[in-house]
Amino acid sequence: MRQELELQYRLRFEGILKPLAESLEVYIRETLAGVDRVDRVQARAKSPSRFMAKAGKGSHDNPKYSDPISQIQDQIGARIIVLYVSDVERVASTIDRYFNHIEKRDLVPESVSEFGYFGRHYLLNVPTDIIDPDWDKELIPDFFELQIKTLFQHAWAEANHDLGYKELGGELSQESKRRMAWAAAQAWGADQIFNDLASDHSQQAGA
């Protein structure tokens, strides 16, 4: 069953998701043409190993996904990295004009005294423009995930993912988690300072 699922996903990954992610990256760049302070745009197809890891979540008797191919909706993931916190909203307003979403949320730590992951996440429909008309329609995902983050949010999330989720000697210790939270607080603080500086600078330039 698992082997069959992996084979099914690999076919989709190679035949559709990879080329679709490449086209999506170009499409998002074109959509944001003329929008300032976009550091980078990236899109990628979820690798078969990550897909299988996600598909296997939950218990044997109560799996999280009964139909992973349909239910896992971030098979294509895209990121827009911007310079300042205020740019997130600005870029998001452009995204809202050119894409319909089914999900839009700001991921923030649960408590105001906690520091961790921050980011704007969307589930957006895949534009018809980037679909090859020869592809099997049933294999094309309806949606892709888009994250909009600042450079600091992105840097912290990448390191956190690498250290926290990879199997590097088991789970992080309490001390390591505290240091990770400290780094998140520093990233959050740097974002606030740079945002204030950018705001001051633009006010001075306009004065």
Main-chain phi, psi angles of 71, to 5 degrees: -85, -25
Least distance from another protein to the Cβ atom of residue 158, Å: 25
Residue type at 145?
A: E
Counting residues that bind another protein (by CB under 8 A) gives 27
Round to whole Å and give the CA distance between 205 and 207: 6
The 135-154 site mask, x for binding another protein (CB under 8 A), equals: ---x---xx-----------
Q: Does 173 bind another protein (CB under 8 A)?
A: no
Q: Estimate the crossing angle of helix 18-31 against helix 85-98, to 10 degrees.
A: 110
Q: Name the token pair of 165.
A: 């989720």
Among 1, 133, 169, 207, binds another protein (CB under 8 A): 133
Number of H helices, E strands in the chain: 7, 5
Q: Does 45 bind another protein (CB under 8 A)?
A: no
Q: Does 67 bind another protein (CB under 8 A)?
A: yes
Which residues sit at the interface with another protein, rule CB under 8 A?
31, 66-67, 70-71, 73, 97-105, 123, 125, 127-133, 138, 142-143
